[in-house]
Structure 1
């Protein structure tokens, strides 16, 4: 019996697996060792996870999470879990989760495209190359935050039609001043920008909207994917933006002669399969 955990800053999904079958799924608040101490993470495990595991014998835990890309941060998570589940515990990044879920034991390029974006070349065992995503200010091409940023910029600079501009302000009940406050004065501007990105998919048939998304995806491919050996392996995607904008993503890939593979919303199903074939 093993536990596979997929953790973001908002929530963590804990999946209890027995011989490749999901036995139980538990959701707790998210964890991130960049923002939480070992004690705080331990408390989440104790109060929110352990009551659901009463009487269940766990043999190993595979934890994948945001902020788990550095040994010292991984140790924080490892120790917090080990206090309550003293078994073999492996802690890895959300990018490794994406690679294992999407590629399994085969080589490929694995990409995350949600609020942020990231990518890597995976050799079937480990990540061997990673172009730094750089965050939504310098990078994160194609992500919800960057697409939202491009949308807001075009709206405020009158690059949308007057009808679309009015529709945008009404859709989110926003004024130009409120937008600027959310971006420049309030915390987590990336979350705000990502929160307005659904307007793009709702109006994707509009040429000016379609152009924002298509160019955003092309930028992701040229500035990230095309630095890997993309001509000899497939390029796979995980995340809400890739999943919901699949047709435009395929259009961008076709224009750049990039072969796409799997496009899924979340990694858990693939991770269960991966850990069942070790």
Structure 2
């Protein structure tokens, strides 16, 4: 059996998989694991108290951990050391972007993208990430992400760029005022998560032209400012994982087509693809 982790800052999905049959055996959810924001003791506590009891009946032969904040050797070592204290098995630690690349591209060249709360992308040669445009976060970048779509929505509401009936509907549905919005964005923690939750309003009202325009323009910006920076971007399929990509896939495809780009796989989450990848390598 192998243990695969897909970790973000808010939650971690751990999957015990039979790598011979290529199937999931058990899934465990724990709090997010990010070595940039958590101490080794905090990470160890969640693994010991939540993960270990749930997988105690399985013999783990290898661990593959993919996570936010795992792009540098010193941070990856923190994760590896903590896991090895509790699960004595060979472990490999990679970034969440590598999870997307392996899940979506398998061993073929392609462009792998994440569109969720944040956004990210890379050019993958079938083995390694060979080019990467920094996403820069929701203030400077993260085009097409839930956080930036939510940011655009509230900006358009507060600057009177949307019809009044849509602004009223939005404010009432989320029980918001301009003062509350400014407080949540500028004074409260994790404004990106708050903004991403607001993006659901876009999906619910996507038949309204001004709402459609926000999403369509956001995706075009993602392609132009990220994907089209890669060498040979027009020669590779462009694959996506993440809730925003999955739920808005038709508009995503339309935005790509407007730029003569070819979309490939669009998946909600990377875990099924990771199970397949590690069952055939």
Aligned to 1:166: 168
Aligned equivalent of 2:259:
256
Listed as ranges, the matches of 1:96-135 within 5 Å are 96-135=98-137
Q: How does 1:10-159 map to 2 (within 5 A)?
A: 10-18=10-18, 19=20, 20-159=22-161
User: Displacement, 1:59?
Assistant: 1.0
Q: Give the count of matched residue pairs.
A: 278
Deviation at residue 95 of structure 1 after TM alignment: 0.5
Unaligned regions of 5+ residues in structure 1, if any? Answer: none
The superposition leaves residues 116-164 of structure 1 with CA deviations (integer Å, 9 ceiling, x where unpaired) of 0000000001111100000001100000010111100000010100111
What do the CA deviations read for 1:3-59 (whole angstroms, capped 9, x no partner)?
Answer: 011111111111111111211111111111011111221121111111122242111
Query: Which residues of structure 2 form unaligned runs of 5+?
Result: none
Q: Report the Cα distance in structure 1 between the residues aligned to 2:57 and 2:216, rounded to whole angstroms.
A: 51
Tell me the distance in 2 between the aligned counterparts of 1:14 and 1:185: 33
- TM-score between the two structures when normalised by the length of structure 2: 0.97
In the alignment, the residues of structure 1 paired with residue 240 and residue 2 of structure 2 have an alpha-carbon distance, to the nearest angstrom, of: 26
d(CA) in 2 for partners of 1:67 and 1:47? 22
Distance in 2 (CA, whole Å) between partners of 1:218 and 1:257 is: 11
Residue 43 of structure 2 aligns to a residue whose secondary structure is helix
Q: Distance in 1 between matches of 2:54 and 2:186?
A: 42
Cα separation, 2, equivalents of 1:151 and 1:41: 35
CA distance in 2, matches of 1:151, 1:256: 24
The match for 1:8 is 8
Mapped partners of 2:192, 2:16: distance in 1: 32
SS at match of 1:101: helix
Q: TM-score when scaled to structure 1?
A: 0.98
Residue 99 of structure 1: CA displacement?
0.4
CA distance in 2, matches of 1:260, 1:207: 24
Aligned to 2:269: 266
- The more displaced of 127-136 and 54-63 is 54-63
Cα distance in 2 for partners of 1:188, 1:14 equals 24
User: SS of the residue aligned with 1:83?
Assistant: helix
